[in-house]
Structure 1
Amino acid sequence: MSRFASYPSLSGRVVFVSGGGSGIGASIVEHFAGQGARVGFVDIDEPASKALVEKLTAAGYPTPLFTKCDVRDIAAYQAAIGEVAGRFGTITVLVNNAARDDRHVIADVTPAFWDERMAVNLRHQYFAIQAVAPGMKKTGGGSIVNFSSISYHTMAPQLSVYQAAKAAVIGMTRGLARDLGGDAIRVNAITPGWIMTQRQIDLWLTPEADAALMAAQCLKEKVYPPDIARMVLWLAADDSRLVTAQNFVVDGGRS
């Protein structure tokens, strides 16, 4: 028996996750499937996404619907969201997870780079909300979870454009929580700390960085994707039914 919570309100609920093929997103998809939810997700990594679908199906969970899609293409992205709603029913949980934290220096940033980074880290979140909000209104409410980043709290170097986008997520979350609250749609944000995805481990987890992280965190354990996924589950479930316009930092007490 799992030591973690099970949420009856998530069984059969229709959930959409961006960037669900690997890392934090894959853990979110897996956790929702484990709760009996019907999950649709998009990603640009087709092999990893298909492998995830096969893994969850083999485990006896409801088979997720994967669509290869680049969230920077808003028309294609909203069409993918519509496909999930057409297949499973009204989406009442949206998880805006997709992002990319490529390093950059000020001198190399061009207007095109700025626009592309905003497209992959911020813009798609708004237009996903635009796509699901009408259905949520008609069905009596829903839960939207947007992803920010601890990097702008900690002032991590060479991430200024990414940080601008992720700081903006918090303002967008609060504004939309007000706009949508009258229709019982809750909008919250999660700010993850340094999460030990395979990408982060491969690219940046040196012994020196590991030691600095443990010195900075109150809790002396690394944070992994399931730690974020479980927070998402709570925000999606009826257990958090009167929680909105909030930002939940999951970083082991680093910031």
Structure 2
Amino acid sequence: MAPKQNAFDQKKSAILSEIKSVSPDLSPKGSIDELCLPIIHLINSHEDMVTTSSCSGRLSVFAEGSKDVKSKIGGKGDGGKWLFVTHDKNAVSDWTSQFNFTVAKDMRTDSTTRYILYKYEPFILHVKCRDFASASQLYNTAMSCGFRESGIGSNHIVAVRISIKLDVPIGTFLDDQLQLFVEERYLSMLNNITLMKFQDNERKMRELYDKIQNEIIGKPLQETTAQPETKAERFERKRREGLERQRQLQK
């Protein structure tokens, strides 16, 4: 009889089966972004790590839902909808051709205003690790190549993130009408900035891939395992984990 797998190995086995499956996954897109596949396969080749979710980076245009006077300005509200989403940089330049916008006659806003938000969100990757040592190794590697928004959450899940995002209001959503309060040339400028962010994002993904290949996959864990935590280091780790749990609960 084969030995029983522990909880981590069972979880990893299930995730790898899902990745290999041709069936749609649970993400809105229904499949893993192609740009993420190299780094996903690399990380999953490590016996103490498995990827749980990812996004290679995307441009989205979001119309906020209805809000009341107690809503926060910029909050998503109820009934919001995605007008446009793409993970493909080649689709950035002409996204406006799909919509009929009108020019906003009144730019006054308050807490009930439903904004149209133009958003670029960079690469993000969540990795479940077997223990704190392997989680710390991945976290330190990500931080060392500029993924400064990364953190270690509960159950040794490492969120690998970088801050090259863009999030600006470009209009309002009123009576089911899309009303812009920016000019076409401003949208063109945003698209150009987004294209540069896509390029920067891909460069950082390649850099992270190389770092993981050279500093984790190519090295035994014991060579890079940190010394036992000091009280100050443990306090900082607990603080990061608490912030990550709060962020997950707010989604």
Shorter chain as denominator, the TM-score bin is: under 0.3
Compare the two structures and name the one with the higher strand fraction: 2
| TM-score relative to the length of structure 2 | 0.24
